[in-house]
Amino acid sequence: MLRVATANGASGRDSRGTWSVEGWESWCAAAAGLDVDVLAVQEVDHLLPRSGGVDQAAVLDRTLAGSGPRWEHRFAAAVHGTPGRAVDFRSAPATDPAEPSYGVALASRHPVREWRELRLAPSRIKLPLPLPPESGQRVLWVPDEQRVALAAVVEAPDGPVSVVTTHLSFAPTRAPAQLRELVAWAADLPRPLVLLGDLNLPPVLLRTVGPVRAWTTALAEATYPAPEPRVQLDHVLLDGLRATGAGTHRLADSDHLAVRAELERG
């Protein structure tokens, strides 16, 4: 059995839209309470000033390990600089550990045999970003971001499992195209495979993406917005695995619920 979870960390941002080191540490402590073998996280900051300049993936790794053995983890950059800041925001051609960035992360209790990254081009339109009430603005129009997928071939106790995470565009025409590209890229990864992430696609749109129609879902339950969920954007999709249990969990102040699932082969 493999226990997995996907969670949008919101870079440690609280309900007022404020980033802090303490906010991220609180979120990581809540995530550790999920007690999983593999954790996929979206909206992760790496050395960005807005969140205290810390390596958030490394903080997560230390929190998950506690006083025990270190986990294996990897951060993958979607963009360099702070998203939405025209001064320094740009697509990341690769992950550079020395470059302030924003992206996704995977952490595994089990050894990882192989890591892979895929960058997914953005749409060409500007998108509305909701702002907290105290900002004085309802929305900020920002260019769509490049997205990234991160894959790990995990040496689970009963054999290798491919785990992929991503955070797709919230442009409704772009996210399905990105998902098709991701599935084609993942075709040669060992099976079984689990795709974890904030796909920004409700189930009705997810089913329009032909390549994933044969896959199963671990859970069909609303995950966003966290205080009163109305739509499922966060998914655990399975190819060659089945869920023996799954549920949603509120983690600190994230605006998404986490999805946790227990998986077995078959």
* DSSP annotation of 224: B
Which DSSP symbol is given to 135? G
pLDDT of 206: 92
β-strand 193-198 against 159-167: which pairing, if any? parallel
User: Is residue 194 predicted with pLDDT exceeding 70?
Assistant: yes
Number of Cβ within a 10 Å radius of residue 109: 20
The reported pLDDT for the residue numbered 132 is: 58
Walk me through the domains of the chain, giving residue ranges and CATH numbers: 2-265 (3.60.10.10)
- Helix, strand, or coil (residue 219): coil
For residue 242, the surrounding DSSP H or E stretch is strand 241-249
- pLDDT, tens digit, 9 for 90 and up, residues 92-149: 999 999 999 999 999 999 999 999 999 999 987 776 666 656 556 666 677 789 999 9
pLDDT given for residue 144 in this prediction: 85
pLDDT band at residue 263 using 50, 70 and 90 as cut-offs: very high
- Of 124, 195, 201, 186, which Cα lies nearest the Cα of 166? 195
Looking up tokens 């963009």 gives 79
Q: Which region among 38-47, 113-122, 203-212, 250-259 has the lowest average model confidence (pLDDT)?
A: 203-212
Q: What is the pLDDT of residue 143?
A: 77
Average pLDDT, the chain: 93
For the entire predicted model, the pTM comes to: 0.94
pLDDT at 69: 82
- Distance between start and end Cα atoms, the chain: 11
CA distance 196 to 178: 14
Query: What digits encode the pLDDT tens for the residues 49-98?
Result: 999 999 999 999 999 998 678 899 999 999 999 887 767 789 999 999 99
What is the per-residue pLDDT for 118?
A: 98
Q: What is the mean pLDDT of residues 29-58?
A: 97
Spatial separation of the C-alpha atoms in residues 89 and 67, rounded to whole Å: 37
Instruction: Answer yes or no: is pLDDT of 44 > 70.
Output: yes
pLDDT at 255 over 90: yes
Peptide bond into 192 cis (omega under 30): yes
